Structure 1
């Protein structure tokens, strides 16, 4: 089939250092299995509907679940994104990802959080992201849908790369966040909310570049199993997000 997705040998060589070691029986061909996983996530297929060219669908499912629990896909994204060094400019934003009713069937009480909340738009999760100046994600965080942008920014703040400036919308206008950025030597470029009696000036020309983080969210949501959450466990859904971000923005970087 012409529309099948296949990783090239060069792309597999870039991500293979993050694969876990194979003990005992050698693993099934990594290139074929990982390509099949990407095809399923990108096209929003059920695992049983994976094309036969990728091998047994049970192999694809088991590999994805096992490596998600091990954090393999998270390490691939973080490793490739970190190889580009410290960006000069950062952009921060968040978006909602709708959760299917099957994803919300997991019990709320458990060892791991579901990262599913209820807002006016129904059940959803929230993806917080920090991008570089070119709109490539460098930091991702998955939370419940009702979590505010302020709390998400506070959780990502200790892990922010060192940069000269950070662009954000009015949702990140708080004195605490601004002061924390300035303390780290990062200049905030954030418009003031209407509740501020004295608006804080910002670079309006520079702020126009913030559309790139919106474009990044749009590209990631083109992957159907990301735009609509079917995974009950948060770590498997976040693995799908990391895999989409890696393939779209980092796997071809030299």
Structure 2
């Protein structure tokens, strides 16, 4: 497997504590199967095209789906991000992820929402994220493409870790959001919209650091199954995003 991706032993030690316990028959080699999942997501392959070195493709796919339903990958990301320590500075932004027609084929009515919406760019989902000062995601949220930035912020604000400052673009210019941040002791560095009668000043030099969260989105979208959504179920697609964020930023 010299030319394929394989998690190191050190990386496995960091994520193994969050794996579910096996009952009865021992699981197939975790390191090999998880590495296969990462390889498929990063390269945008069909599951049936996973290299034979990772074992039967059905085993790789079934492990991904089963652990996605259990929220294992979400937990790994959340716990490793939490152990990264309290950041001094936060950044917030959102980006659209195009939904392939195969992802949009799931019926709108069902037990779980699809998290797929329609905008001028067609069918897509929207990834909302809060990053630390180094541009590493600490909170992520998947929504329909038409959800506004500040509505996504409202769903994430309670989970934000304590920090001194928060950087955001004009999409987060809302009085209630500034007040909510102030109540948490966070200074907002957000430009005012052009139609505001009395613009609110912000630190323009500090605001230049916001490119780090844009870079984080770019690195996530380098993974082909993140850049284009092929998963019909929202929980499997979000698990793929959590896997990418964990590998890129936290292990």
Structure 1 residue 203 corresponds to structure 2 residue 199: no
2:240 maps to what in 1? Answer: 240
Gaps of 5+ in 1: none
Give me the TM-score of the superposition, normalised by structure 2.
Answer: 0.99
Structure 1, residues 165-213: CA drift from partner, whole Å, max 9, x if none?
Answer: 0000000000000000001000000000011111000000000000000
1:168 maps to what in 2? Answer: 168
2:109 maps to what in 1? Answer: 109
Structure 1, residues 203-241: CA drift from partner, whole Å, max 9, x if none?
Answer: 000000000000000000000000000000000000000
Gaps of 5+ in 2: none
1:65 maps to what in 2? Answer: 65
Aligned length: 251
Structure 1, residues 82-114: CA drift from partner, whole Å, max 9, x if none?
Answer: 002211100000000000000001010111110
SS of the residue aligned with 1:138?
strand
RMSD: 0.6
Give me the TM-score of the superposition, normalised by structure 1.
Answer: 0.98
Distance in 1 (alpha carbons) for counterparts of 2:221 and 2:3: 19
Distance in 1 (alpha carbons) for counterparts of 2:150 and 2:53: 45
Distance in 2 (alpha carbons) for counterparts of 1:4 and 1:124: 31
Distance in 2 (alpha carbons) for counterparts of 1:233 and 1:110: 11
Structure 1, residues 133-188: CA drift from partner, whole Å, max 9, x if none?
Answer: 00000000000000000100000011111100000000000000000000100000
Distance in 2 (alpha carbons) for counterparts of 1:183 and 1:158: 11
